[in-house]
Structure 1
Amino acid sequence: MESFVDIYERACQRKGGRELLGSLLSEPLSSVQLARLSDDVWLEEFTRKIFQSGFYWSVINAKWSGFREVFWDFSVEKLLYMSPEMYEQRAQDERIVRNYKKVQSIANNCLMIHELAIEHGSFSELVAHWPEDNIIELWSLLKKQGSRLGGNTGAYALRAVGKDTFILSRDVEAYLRAHEVISGGLHSQKSLRAAQAFFNELRSQSGYSLQTLSQLVAYSVGDNLVGVSS
């Protein structure tokens, strides 16, 4: 296994130095900041990432004001009372990207968030205090209890809102395979546990967040555009 220093130095060389690399890195929110978020934020971001999956993100983002109008600003409290017939009707609304199966995921994920909020005080509290050294189990929870949140979808949503997580992007996957950290299916339990252990070790060496480490690994490989985020 390469050390953190090896990965960091190569990323610096490929991105034009420490200063330029630093400008490309980002940090997650703190647990306090996460716990303060409305649960509606999670439902909105889960929905955004589900619709972006397999589609041009720019198209989804351009229509997002329409999504917010159609689905009541993703209010969990309000959407709990939306009937299946209403969801079916809204799936045909021209203000959104019309995909009935993905629209159905809103109802399912709304219920998931509501049920977990009852158990943990709020969904945001659950996410905020989930241990980062076992973030793959949070991914698993979203996949099992949510709808269409498997693969990278759940992880990308967590990252977008501010939860510290690594991402198994193409560049990160390429690195992990090249260095024989993982083999076989990317999202097999064996591969996920190996990836988690790898990032936990880098975190112990550096003190950096999983988010920053994931970005550093990605910037240390793949297509290199100096000073450009990937």
Structure 2
Amino acid sequence: MSLNIGCKVVVESYQSLYQRAAERKGSIEALEKLLSKPRTNDELMAIDDSAWLEEFTRKIFQSGFYWSVVDAKWAGFQEVFWHFSIEKLLLMPPEMLERKASDPRIIRNFKKVKTIRDNCLMIHDIAQKHGSFSTFIANFPSEDIVQLWNELKIHGARLGGNTGAYALRAMGKDTFVLSRDIEGYCRACDVIDGGLHSKRSHLAIQAMFLQFQEQSGRSYQELSQLVAYSFGDNIVGWQN
């Protein structure tokens, strides 16, 4: 069943979704060039745990700030926080964190700076149980990815909403993300009718992506991009 934009219908087939996305992007070849794949489990496990803390922090600061401002300050963040070394940050006393939060080399937002310490502790605690935080992420089943989002929200600091999911995507964990195009698609298809970030909505959207995955064999990351390319504003070359 093809999607009737503006009408609430049953979720369409993967083939229908793919064909529409290809038509909107000009051709199958053009569409395929826009799709990207997640890292393998081995590649994820090779990531140093400090890189996760850095990406979580980057996404937390990007929320509410122009990304260009965050990017311009990022070398300062790396200097001030020892390149996000888990071992060094664990030894940092609270008063030192307060001093670092006022350093002009970074964006001086104490509430967000405090998440560095909190998320460092989360990563350390999980690493103690699983060998490394990267191993925990790599081995977490992608078919239940919204539960991983929830783990980050519950045990981390400011990693709810889209923040945790976008950090996972940036690091290469296979996940869909809830962009405005994907939300619009899910509402048009009557997949969700309540709040985007409710447990019910998350599970319904995950079930939709599982359906597409069963039909296509593609990763969540590719399918997330395909849904976005098939719906909403058609901007040539835009990647989700």
Q: Assess same fold via TM > 0.5.
A: yes
Task: Report the equivalent of 2:107.
Answer: 97
For residues 100-119 of structure 1, what are the structure 2 equivalents within 5 Å? 100-119=110-129
CA offset digits 1:8-59 (Å, max 9, x no partner): 1111011111111111110000001101110001000000000000111111
**How many angstroms apart in 1 are the aligned matches of 2:227 and 2:146?**
18
CA offset digits 1:68-115 (Å, max 9, x no partner): 000000001110011111111111111111100000000000000000
> Is contact 1:155–1:167 with CA below 8 Å preserved after alignment?
yes
Alignment partner of 1:172 is 2:182:
yes
**How many angstroms apart in 1 are the aligned matches of 2:125 and 2:102?**
28
TM score, norm. by length of structure 1: 0.98
Which residue, 169, 174, 196 being the options, matches 1:159?
169
> Is contact 2:45–2:138 with CA below 8 Å preserved after alignment?
yes
The amino acid of 2:179's aligned partner reads S
CA offset digits 1:101-136 (Å, max 9, x no partner): 000000000000000000011000000011010000
Alignment partner of 1:39 is 2:46:
no
Alpha-carbon distance, 1:226 to partner = 2.7
Task: Report the equivalent of 1:6.
Answer: 16
Work out the percentage of aligned pairs sharing the same amino acid.
Answer: 61
CA offset digits 1:168-217 (Å, max 9, x no partner): 01100000001000111101110010011000110010000000000000
TM score, norm. by length of structure 2: 0.94
Alpha-carbon distance, 1:157 to partner = 0.2
**How many angstroms apart in 2 are the aligned matches of 1:147 and 1:84?**
16
> Is contact 1:21–1:227 with CA below 8 Å preserved after alignment?
no
Alignment partner of 1:51 is 2:61:
yes
Which residue, 81, 104, 127 being the options, matches 2:91?
81
> Aligned pair count?
230
The amino acid of 1:13's aligned partner reads E
The RMSD of aligned alpha carbons is: 0.8
> Is contact 2:225–2:239 with CA below 8 Å preserved after alignment?
no
Q: Which structure 1 segments of 5+ residues have no match?
A: none
Task: Report the equivalent of 2:200.
Answer: 190
Task: Report the equivalent of 2:32.
Answer: 22
